[in-house]
Amino acid sequence: MTESNNISREITVFHGRTTPEPGNIVGYGAIIDALKLPVPLPLRLVIISKKRRQYSTDEWLVFTPRHQPADTLYSHLVFALKYEGVNLLAFKKLFEKLDPNTIEQWILKEPQSQFSRKIWFLYEWLVQKELNVPDLASGNYVPLLDDNLQYVSQQSTNSNRQRIKNNLPGNINFCPLINKTDKIERFIAENLSEKTNRILNEVHRNVLLRTSAFLLLKDSKASFNIEGENPTQTRAFRWGQAIGQAGNKELSKEELLRLQQIVIEKSRFIKMGYRTGGGFIGVHDRNTGEPIPEHISARWQDVDPLINGMIDAERQMQDALFHPVLTAAKIAFGFVFIHPFVDGNGRLHRYLIHHILTKMKFTLQGIIFPVSDAILKRIEDYRKVLETNSLPLLEFIQWKKTPDNNVEVLNETLDYYRYFDATLQTEFLFDCIDYTINKIIPEEVEYLHHYDAMKDWLDDRFQMSDRMVALLIRFLSQNNGKLSKRALGKEFSELSGEEVVDIENQYKFYFLDVKGEQLLS
């Protein structure tokens, strides 16, 4: 395919999205539409308004007529790089359609243009083939990613051929990108890591250790609950112990296998290790048993390079001091989209969040963020943020049913799992961390303070053992501040009526609000 004209067109509705006003579609949206690239549309599309105003919404960037690019493929690519940033997946699919001679002509026409040099670099990096263009002999080095638009690696590698600074936060086998948004910038400016450490440093060490133990078990149980499982106390404790070791070992393919073995307690009917067949998330038709996918996993043949690329990218971002939450979002969500195992992917995906936040010292040593608990409280948002990646891809993945009602992917899909947009996933993870810091951890600390105060009161009045105190408070919590007839007839039968009233009033003072509902649990 050679250079194309007639890229832009006037729209009011575009692929199911209504524009805020009539305008000409430009940039990546126009290119993907005109050339029918097998690529999901960007989260935000760009139109040129007929009016002299510039603004943005969640789904649209609106520019004035003076920003209108010439209606050629090259001009629209320049516009996209200038205002939308680098879209690796769109470029890769474009290069698969485009005649290399066309790119060579662009470069030879404007060899010093930063945009033709970026396109040149991207072609040779993504396709791994050299164009018939001589090396540049002069000119300043230009960053590939614009750090006003996207989050970049602070450690760049110079490409002498195009005089480009490769500041991609990843590698050829795994490089999701994150666009800068007001929300992410606000969270980064808040310095949540420092805020957490400040909160925890004010907590007495004894309470801090108990808080950490409770949060660990809470997070373990929540991670199972997200998968629709209700684990035994022993199983939850085992996985909690694994989470507690997050950050202690380097991430590797062998370490992921070890963790899967901890997650899957009974593997009699589950094939352990990396997949050697297709994979999907969804349901089976009740009558025919046919798969109805909501997410199709990476081809099993691609799992090895994807996981290797992901592990290398994690190390690169650590070495470059890339932001820990951005790193965690890219690696953890990348892992769950790849879905390398038959089972256990979801819990390992959430483990990776713990691992990276601890390894990159976002959290205090020995303190685990109960991120899974925060995710569980936002389970619908969690599903949506997974679906924003998975559902659009279904249109581009060709598959057939296998005899065992699995899926077999028929086309090349590798790029969809290594070059995805991780912006929404990053925003969601920041939301969960913010909720953890401002609500879950303070509430757990406050609960333990109230528990200790209640325990001191019980010790002073009744000299109860720690076991009996724990049992009494649990009974009161389960029955909204009242001791049940069963408890009064058995374990606490020796309490008088007056003592029961005093205990219930004391519990109400510490644990219930004015409406008689649990303040803390």
pLDDT along the chain (521 residues), means of 10: 76 95 96 97 96 91 96 97 98 97 95 96 97 94 97 96 97 98 95 78 67 69 76 73 80 90 66 86 86 93 97 96 96 96 88 90 72 86 93 95 93 97 97 88 83 89 87 88 87 89 89 59 52
**Interatomic CA distance for residues 437 and 441, integer angstroms:** 6
What is the C-alpha to C-alpha distance for residues 2 and 193, in angstroms, rounded to an integer?
50
Per-residue pLDDT, 126:
98
Nearest to 296 by CA among 277, 313, 312: 277
Phi-psi region of 36 (alpha: psi -120 to 50; beta: other; left: phi over 0): left
The per-residue pLDDT for 420 is 97
pLDDT of residue 254: 93
Angle at 382 between CA 379 and CA 385, to 5 degrees: 155
Q: What tokens appear for 438 in the block?
A: 């401002």
Mind listing the pLDDT tens digit for each residue in 308-319? 999 999 999 999
pLDDT for 49 = 95
Continuous segment of H or E residues that includes residue 399:
strand 399-401
**Using CA atoms, how far apart are residues 40 and 242, in angstroms rounded to an integer?**
37
pLDDT of 514:
42
Contact, 82 vs 115, CB < 8 A? Answer: yes
Q: Please tell me what DSSP assigns to residue 404.
A: T
pLDDT at residue number 229: 74
Per-residue pLDDT tens over the stretch 461-515: 888 888 888 899 889 988 888 888 888 888 888 889 999 999 989 888 888 754 4
| pLDDT number for residue 226 | 80
Distance between CA atoms of 172 and 412, rounded to whole angstroms? 16
Q: How far apart are the first and last CA of the chain?
A: 63
Which secondary-structure segment (H or E) carries 22? Answer: strand 17-26
